[in-house]
Amino acid sequence: MSAQKEAKQVITVSPAQSFQLGELRRIAVEAFAEDFRRYGMMPEGIETIQWHEKGIADGSYLVIEAQKKVAGGARVFDFGDGTFRLGSLFIDPALHGRGIGKQAMEAIERYYPQARTWSLDTPAGSTRNHRFYAHAGYVKVGESYPVQDSGFCLFDYAKPELLVEIRDAELFADRNLDQAADEHRFALRQAARAVLTDGAGRMALMHVAKDGYHKLPGGGIEPDEDVYSALRREMREESGAEIEMTGTIGMTAEYIAEYKLKQFSYAYSAVLVGSPGESAFTEEEQAGGFAAMWVKPEEALRLMENDQPGSYSGHFIRCRDLAILRAYLN
């Protein structure tokens, strides 16, 4: 069983029991009532006691408790090889706004330490859900239409393996910042990055001459993009090339206190399609002396390890991209 204290509350998750089914069903119906009003549907069968009985029978059902009282539930599906899917997650509407959902998500992930990647979906119109899942580390990977000709759309989300968490304390020995209590107030930025290789086995690397470091190509995800669309756009802009994705490397989390920014970067391996073209750097990047170069991955690692960034943000970038490249090489 997992537990976490926050605001004098103890949130735990454990396998749901038969005697809890009536309360879980009541909470689930109330939690998804807004979806029913908005879309005319809720997760199929969740209003029936059979849905909840099936979850106990197949071992996928967790009960979420706050102060030892039922606060919600979740279905979690293990597909093997560290691949997990979060099914219907619900919290009693009477308890919303108390941070229980956030703590429950964290408790669920701790309950399955073998999990390397997670996925889920949520209605396209549920903007509150989108913010919640993004802050929990999930990124949009696509869309699906489960009901033919209805126009009802689901956004598909994924959370890959976490490679590293980076904070000021790890990078700057002379900084004594008590930032942990404020991190939940940090603005969120999501970004897509790649180890992009060509037919000769070289990889794309950005040299930032002004600040004295090298970085992987990539950048922020725009509001109307999923992570794959953002990755393809960023590779066109920075390497002048079309790409084909070949795999997922993982994600990094940066908590940048000076900027009050939480940045999640989602990293993938990709290969060049055709020949690289001209980079389309922004004015800010041009002013920073950005230049694209192609080197062997081992040479890129050597360059990055020897970098001594001249800027505050450069230290975060170096630590982040080293973690990504080392994971790729391993």
Which part of the chain has CATH 3.90.79.10? 162-329
pLDDT tens track for 291-309: 889 999 999 999 999 999 9
| Measured distance CA(230)–CA(81) in Å, rounded | 27
Amino acid residing at 147 = V
CATH architecture of the domain 162-329 equals Alpha-Beta Complex (3.90)
* This prediction's pTM: 0.92
Lookup: tokens for 288: 């920073």
- Cβ pair 256, 293 in contact under 8 A: no
Phi, psi of 49 (to 5 degrees): -65, -25
- Cβ pair 175, 169 in contact under 8 A: yes
Q: How confident is the model at residue 178 (pLDDT cuts 50, 70, 90)?
A: low
Q: How far is CA 31 from CA 26, 71, 95, 103, 208, in A?
A: 9, 11, 10, 17, 49
Phi, psi of 34 (to 5 degrees): -65, -40
In the CATH hierarchy, which fold is given to the domain comprising 2-159? Aminopeptidase (3.40.630)
| Measured distance CA(284)–CA(172) in Å, rounded | 26
pLDDT tens track for 250-302: 999 999 999 999 999 999 999 999 877 777 777 877 777 888 899 999 999 99
- Cβ pair 116, 82 in contact under 8 A: yes
